[in-house]
Structure 1
Amino acid sequence: MRHAYFASLLLALVATVSLPLSAAPTALEPTRTITTELSTSALDLNKADAATLQSQLSGIGKTKAEAIVAYREEHGDFASVDELLEIKGIGKALLERNRDKLTVN
């Protein structure tokens, strides 16, 4: 009984160690790095559509995202990120939560 228990523990240990080794890339395989716009740059308020604003910004739902786009269409491009404060429902706290994610170009 003891030998069977020890053998099953040894088998589990070997399987745990060998699985990551077999899944690791070999020296011949090129390493690929995938970057996305989200991780490399801020979201441009003057180009983003409502769906993008909604999905990328914290606390911005469908209604606020559509209000941002409507404001931009009515008043022209945003001159600064702070101009978001002119939109009903967007206050200082919400702006500060998203400031690092936003830019205007």
Structure 2
Amino acid sequence: MRKLLMIMAIPLLFAGTAFGAVNINTATQDELQTLSGITAAKAKAIIDYRSKAGKFKVTEDLAKVDGVNEQHLDMKQLYREVTVTGPTVLKTKEKSAAK
């Protein structure tokens, strides 16, 4: 039983460092630019939109922002990278095993 718990717990320890989520309600322009397909102009448009319209209620509200649309971006990927709650946790690069 103890061995089974260890096997289940170890991947959870590394999950936080491998994946990230950017809170689109609080992220800075630089943080938004870490997202797939989000340029400086699109990041500024997201910030401008939330300043005028208020907080995003769901991640899909990103489609309402000018310049952020399904024609130019992989929206499914983008939705996996963002959140509307909690802190922004940026993706980190895995450390080299050679160290």
TM-score by length of 2: 0.61
Q: Give yes or no for contact 2:22–2:82 (8 Å, CA) kept in 1.
A: yes
Equivalent residue number for residue 22 of structure 2: 43
Query: 3-state DSSP class of the match of 2:74?
Result: helix
Percent of residue pairs bearing the same amino acid type = 30
Relative contact order higher in (CA < 8 Å, ≥ 6 apart): 2
Q: Structure 1: where are the runs of 5+ without partners?
A: 1-34
Q: Give yes or no for contact 1:84–1:95 (8 Å, CA) kept in 2.
A: no
Query: Is residue 79 of structure 2 the alignment partner of residue 99 of structure 1?
Result: yes
Q: What count of residue pairs does the alignment treat as equivalent?
A: 69
Query: 3-state DSSP class of the match of 2:57?
Result: coil
Structure with larger Rg: 1
Cα distance in 1 for partners of 2:76, 2:20 equals 17
Q: Structure 2: where are the runs of 5+ without partners?
A: 1-13, 86-99
Query: 3-state DSSP class of the match of 1:47?
Result: coil
Q: CA, structure 1 residues 88+94, in 2 after alignment: closer, same or farther (shift >3 Å)?
A: farther
Cα distance in 2 for partners of 1:76, 1:39 equals 30
Q: Give yes or no for contact 1:46–1:77 (8 Å, CA) kept in 2.
A: yes
Cα distance in 2 for partners of 1:52, 1:102 equals 11
Query: Is residue 66 of structure 2 the alignment partner of residue 76 of structure 1?
Result: no
Cα distance in 2 for partners of 1:50, 1:38 equals 22
Mapping of 1:1-105 within 5 angstroms? 39-54=18-33, 56-92=34-70, 93-105=73-85
TM-score by length of 1: 0.58
Equivalent residue number for residue 95 of structure 2: none
